[in-house]
Amino acid sequence: MMKQLTLLFVLISSVAIGKSRPLEKIIPMKIDTTAVVSICGIKQFIKIQGADKEKPLLLFLHGGPGTSLIPMADAFTDQLKSNFVVVQWDQRQTGETLKLNSSPEKLSLSLLQKDTEELISYLLQHFNRKKLFLLSHSFGSMLGFNFAAKHPESLYAYIPISAIVDQRKSEKLTMEMLNKWAKETKNTEAIKELAMVKLPFEKEDDLFYSQKWLFIHNGVDFAKEEAFKAKYHDWLAIWFPMWKQAVTNNLFKTLPALNCPVYFIEGIGDKQKSHYLVGDYYKFVKAPKKGLFWFKKSGHTVFNSEPEKLQQVIIEQILPAALPSTP
């Protein structure tokens, strides 16, 4: 009888001791790394950062084309990295990817779209995920909308910043605004150079002079114009042939509906009418969930002028809307 009581006491004590032990804390596994992956036959560079590698993936498609955001990304991803695994990618013929290898194929929009599809497939497989968040800026939307249209099942949401929806109409509105401004300010140099620009843009100088005076109109100091001109013409030599072909697309005609959530982010601080094309497309496109966020202190590069607000919108509004179970 004593043996039975002793055994019972030991069992009760063991249970009590077990219950009194604090639960072990689950420590998030941080990730901060770079990788070189084979995408469409060439080496391509990605940077992956997050406070917890189990958080949702977020891939950023930079614009330009040919403009890496990796050197400045920490300034507009510091909060995102606490809520996502953030992936930055230097696209073909850009940044670190260009240092690794030049594109053996002629640059084209379809080639970059194939790169995007293959990279996303790699990320989903590598992290054992079914979906990710896709974020793009400017030209990156030409890759993002294409992927969202073809593979909506792979996206929690698509988030285009400064989306290109009808570039031909945008060019027309911008030129109208610049010509009016040049005449009102009696800027004879602007009047002369803008008069040389033909629509649609067919020559490199058409794009150069329109961009030059758009930058000046928006307050950019052109004291070093010759250096800018040389750099810009280097860019034109690489990317303008592809740009001409790419910007003929009009989403109002080619993409009336998406089968994944889409959330537009647009800066309206420079008060250009072309921004409202995004507002018109937001109203036009059909999607299971959609939203539009205006940034009144920003122009084209929202992530530079309002990085805190950009991250707050994504974390506090878009993330819980796309993933309702997210705390």
Which pLDDT does position 326 carry in this prediction? 53
Q: Distance between CA 77 and CA 116 in Å, rounded?
A: 21
Task: Tell me the pTM.
Answer: 0.89
| Reported confidence tier of residue 225, pLDDT bands at 50, 70, 90 | low
Which pLDDT does position 25 carry in this prediction? 61
Higher pLDDT, 244 or 315: 315
Stretch 28-45: mean pLDDT, rounded? 96
Give the type of residue at 182: A
* 31-165+250-322 homologous superfamily: Alpha/Beta hydrolase fold, catalytic domain (3.40.50.1820)
Please report, for residues 54, 86, 284, 312, 322, the alpha-carbon distance to residue 30 in angstroms, rounded to integers and kept in the order given: 9, 12, 41, 21, 24
| Reported confidence tier of residue 5, pLDDT bands at 50, 70, 90 | very low
Higher pLDDT, 225 or 286: 286
Give the type of residue at 196: M
Which pLDDT does position 153 carry in this prediction? 98
Mean pLDDT across the chain, nearest whole number?
90
310, containing H or E segment? helix 307-312
Q: What is the rounded end-to-end Cα distance, in angstroms, of the chain?
A: 54
Which pLDDT does position 218 carry in this prediction? 79
Enumerate the domain spans of the chain: 31-165+250-322, 167-246
- pLDDT at residue 306 is higher than 90: yes
Q: How does pLDDT run across 159-190, given as a tens digit for each residue?
A: 999 999 999 999 999 999 999 999 999 999 99
Q: How does pLDDT run across 97-144, given as a tens digit for each residue?
A: 999 999 999 999 999 999 999 999 999 999 999 999 999 999 999 999
- pLDDT at residue 16 is higher than 60: no
Q: Distance between CA 320 and CA 323 in Å, rounded?
A: 5
Which pLDDT does position 224 carry in this prediction? 60
- pLDDT at residue 22 is higher than 70: no
